[in-house]
Amino acid sequence: MSEYQSYRFERLDGVLDSKQRQALRQISSRAEITATSFQVYYHYSGLKAETADVVLNYFDIGFYYADWGFIEAYIKLPIGTIPEDLLQSGDHGFYVHATDQWQLLVFSLEEYDDYLDDEQADDFFQHLASLRSELIQGDWRLLYFMWLRELDSNDELAAVPMINFDFNHLSDAQTAFAGLFGVPLGLVKALALALEEKPSHSAKHNRFHIDDWLSQLSEKEKDQLLTALFEQGQLSRHQALAMTRKEQVNEPVNYQHWLSAQIIEPYIAIAQQQLKQEQAIALATRLAAEKAAKEAKLSEVYNQRDQVWQRAQEQASRTCASGYDQASRYLHQLAEAYQFKGEALDFECRFERFISSNNSRKALLNRLQDLLPRA
């Protein structure tokens, strides 16, 4: 049993009624439960239910992690959202729980090398709603990420339909997913190169036409929707589609073009080289931007040097630890700003006067040892 486990679930379509919240309270007496969410942390214990069942019964997205490095992300979709040919559950950190109404996608990572804290987990959780929306709209790149991740160590992986998604430009949510789950970006680029040259199927994004959908509803279904709307106070599109079973499901496709290890292999070496070049350019651009920002800050400090010297003295005069800390920060900024402007001697002269005025404040001087002249 892990020393620390975190569970977080959220309902995006509709709200939890009182009976559902009571049922969730039976699962965990200490969880924070609202009309749309459930969150709980455990030390030396765990949830009194299967996590997948909790999401299937009550929520749309979920995230679980344990401090031994185990991570699972859950995304629940209306049945038929993802074609069966793409739902290849297996040993590559992806499996599916299917019911008559839902497809629950579970993405798992058994050994996360870096430590994941609550803040990082919360940041990633914010992307799950976007990932779910993308999948529902026909953007299935997440499934290819997991296929590529498995391909990195298993070149006998079963083929999947070759659909011409744009793997050169990922959404912020997809980038976060790829980073957390260790998706090999070199293989992502190799797939993008393969799609440029190999025949593939066009990506079709689902478009919902409300007039067409409404015209197909029976009076009974309309009454059902109105009842749910008055009881819950709100009703999302996805919830309404699920209730009436008029989902925009994807019609079965007789795929002619398939992605396999043999298809992508010729592009891997060149993709890795391109990725290195792009990363080098991105790093150089970032460092240049950071340098420019730092130089701008140093110029600002130098231009306002008289005020900064005054602030440093005001903080030193407080004769307390926090004041000395702040004074030290000001003085180190001044030292760097003068150095940047080629006026190191001017700094030394003024710094000597500052030290002379504060010579009795030993705690302050200790904080300034690296600025004091060497004996």
* Interval 21-67: pLDDT, tens: 999 999 998 999 999 999 999 987 788 899 999 999 999 999 999 88
Q: State pLDDT tens for residues 241-294.
A: 666 654 445 566 789 999 999 999 999 999 999 999 999 999 999 999 999 999
Q: Pick left, alpha or beta for residue 247 (phi over 0 → left; psi -120 to 50 → alpha; otherwise beta).
A: beta
- Percent of the chain exceeding pLDDT 90 equals 69
Q: Are 355 and 362 in contact (CB under 8 A)?
A: no
pTM of structure: 0.75
Can you give the pLDDT at residue 157? Answer: 86
Q: State pLDDT tens for residues 344-363.
A: 999 999 999 999 999 999 99
Per the listing, tokens 């110029």 go with: 299
Q: State pLDDT tens for residues 210-253.
A: 665 666 777 777 777 777 767 666 666 666 666 665 444 556 67
Can you give the pLDDT at residue 185? Answer: 94
Q: How far is 85 from 251, CA to CA, in rounded Å?
A: 12
Can you give the pLDDT at residue 209? Answer: 52
Q: Which two structure tokens, joined as six digits, stand for 318?
A: 């407080």
Q: How far is 246 from 204, CA to CA, in rounded Å?
A: 18
Q: Count CA within 13 A, CB hemisphere, residue 135.
A: 30
